[in-house]
A and B are shown apart, each in its own frame.
Chain A
Amino acid sequence: MKRMLLAALGLLFASSAFAQDAAEEAGIDQAISDAVAPIVNPIVSTVFYSVPLFGTDFPLIVGWLVVAAVVFTVYFGFIQFRGFKHSIELVRGDYFDPKDAGEVTPFQALATALSGTVGLGNIAGVGVAVYLGGPGATFWMILAGLLGMASKFTECTLGVHYRNEYPDGTVSGGPMYYLSKGLSEQNKAALGKFLAIFFSICCIGGALGGGNMFQANQSFAQVSSIIPFFEGKGWLFGLIMAAVVGVVIIGGIKSIARVTEKVVPFMAVIYVGAALLIILMNIGGVPAAIGEIIGGAFAPTAVAGGMVGALIQGFKRAAFSNEAGIGSASIAHSAVQTRHPATEGYVALLEPFIDTVVICTMTSLVITITGSWVPDSGVTGIDLTAKAFTSNISGFGYILAIAALLFAFSTMLSWSYYGLKAWTYMFGEGQAKEIVFKVIFCIFIIIGSSMSLGPVIDFSDAMIFAMAIANIIGLYMLMPKVKALVADYQEKLRSGEIKKVT
């Protein structure tokens, strides 16, 4: 296996060294962009098929996610508000049987799933949303986050209920399993299988897009703005990043992953702390900022098509950031130790709350409050966020660059695993097959950091949202099952069969 790794890396280095001789450095980036664009563009335009609505194009897929979130919210009787307290109790371990010590706790499942979703979406994605949709996008983002909690609840409950538990004690779960197993219970095995395969293909695409290229691209943007050496050398940055990721996922050097997993929560705390600090420093401006956010949300005249533009951007970035309805988190949540799948639904609904309602809102408040948003200025994505933070805390750009790099890295590791799970679901397990996927994953890091932001974001969005097509069809068909599981669980809570352990 080591030899294969070395050969693969050698090949990467050789081809890039050759390319370096052949062309100017900026030319390499351009060449990679040009080569990928014809493949990417048709996919993007299919997934984001839009209908004209109030003078702007409204992508149907965004409506698809929001309608689903509303349906689940109503169907489960506003579970995200009624069950919020119970969620906190579960994560705190109030119901965790001490006999199960050593198993995966609800806290661990939540933390791992969060480290996959809290990432550049919260820093760069919000920058994009505010740039294109104005501060009003924040309002819709929060609303989408609150609604998305119900989608997460549904998919993570199913993920645990239909997971595979193998004789050796490992588990595999996620949409591919509940789609195929759940629907075959309803005598729709063929449809279930089809949706599971469709989901898996999109999941691999999502892993390579939003879970990889977008991350590589945005962390490169941040690093190159601080270290001028890298400017225009996206391929070189990508190569380094690919080598580090490759060492972890192909070479199996777990210690790097472990260090990252420890540093990421720490960075998240620093990030939120800095955001809070800036908000406190400008406390006088908060009412005005909130006014701008709410005003912008309903304004007929804001940029990018007014209210509808803000709404589309807000919903899109929220979905991209918290992945509710996408199905990815269900893969991470499936491993938890519980006798009642519904408990994991409760735990998972905290995820969009922390990710979107808390962290994304902080970012956009900072951008709004500091007045960093200038329409049509070209300052978007992570640059906009960086500008907002540095305007109050000079030198924060460096911290942000490190945070961005680490967030990107941990998100890549999570997604490489999600993608791998989808890959092995389709092609079966086996070391050679797994290495093929991992090498492809590393190559896409180089592609991602070489391309300009637009095509990367489009592709990332397209693939991630495509996952939601299959996932949500399945969720609709399986939601009575979830309701039964939840009713059973709540009955046991009421009767005292499930009690807090004190």
Chain B
Amino acid sequence: MADTFVVGFDGTASAKRAVQHAAVHAKAGGGTVHLVHVLEWSPYSFLTPEELNERHKRREEELARAKAIVQPIVDDLKAKGVNATCEVRHGHAGELLCEIAETKQARQIVIGRTGSTSIAARLMGSLALTLVQASPVPVTVVP
């Protein structure tokens, strides 16, 4: 089975650089770039009754919007001759990336740097830190 590079993608400039980084490696080895767009979501957050009743609709909208961001990148990669797939998921970014890397038996997880050095980010815990501590496969952070 060819190498799979799981890329955490959120549409930002650094995420795009991460995609390019993964694409270079994937193309060289005939591997696949798998883009994962995670919509932050917690099963325990509080919703008002109104939000409850609209939740299903909102979820569909969120998925469609995210898909619209990811799909052009996938098409672009394919046009350049790189195997590319994508998925959009709700949940915790760190947990999901690890889970997907494991089920796909990925070679690497590639993410973009957030560029934040503030204390807030350090206290809240960044995605990069989570992955470094929990990832089942090597992690590359692209600046």
A binding-site residues for B, Cβ under 8 Å:
93, 96, 98, 101-105, 107-109, 111-112, 115-116, 165, 168-172, 254, 257-258, 261-262, 265, 331-332, 334-337, 413-414, 417-418
Q: How far is the CB of B61 from chain A (nearest CB, A)?
A: 8
B binding-site residues for A, Cβ under 8 Å:
39, 41, 43-50, 52-60, 62-63, 89-91
Contact status B53-A112, CB under 8 Å: no
7 A-B contacts, Cβ less than 8 Å apart?
A: A102-B41, A108-B52, A111-B44, A111-B46, A112-B47, A165-B56, A170-B53
A264 to B90, CA, bound (A): 26
Contact status A417-B49, CB under 8 Å: yes
B50 to chain A: closest residue by CB: A417
**In the complex with contacts A101-B41, A102-B39, A265-B46, A112-B52 CB distance below 8 A:** yes
Contact status A107-B54, CB under 8 Å: no
A103 to B47, CA, bound (A): 11
Contact status B47-A102, CB under 8 Å: no
Q: How far is the CB of A468 from chain B (nearest CB, A)?
A: 20
Q: How far is the CB of A393 from chain B (nearest CB, A)?
A: 27
Q: How far is the CB of B47 from chain A (nearest CB, A)?
A: 5
Contact status B56-A171, CB under 8 Å: yes
A101 to B62, CA, bound (A): 12
Contact status B49-A102, CB under 8 Å: no
Residues in B with CB closer than 8 Å to A413 are 48
Contact status A171-B46, CB under 8 Å: no
Contact status B48-A257, CB under 8 Å: yes
Contact status B43-A105, CB under 8 Å: yes
A163 to B50, CA, bound (A): 15
Partner of A107, one of B41, B44, B53, B56: B44
A115 to B52, CA, bound (A): 13
A414 to B52, CA, bound (A): 11
Partner of B46, one of A98, A115, A337, A417: A115
**In the complex with contacts A102-B63, A104-B56, A170-B56, A331-B49 CB distance below 8 A:** yes
Partner of A334, one of B53, B62, B63: B53
**In the complex with contacts A108-B46, A115-B46, A168-B52 CB distance below 8 A:** no
Residues in B with CB closer than 8 Å to A101 are 41, 43, 89-91
A169 to B58, CA, bound (A): 8
Q: How far is the CB of B35 from chain A (nearest CB, A)?
A: 18
Q: How far is the CB of B70 from chain A (nearest CB, A)?
A: 16
| Residue among B45, B47, B60 with max Cβ neighbours from chain A (10 Å) | B47
Q: How far is the CB of B24 from chain A (nearest CB, A)?
A: 32
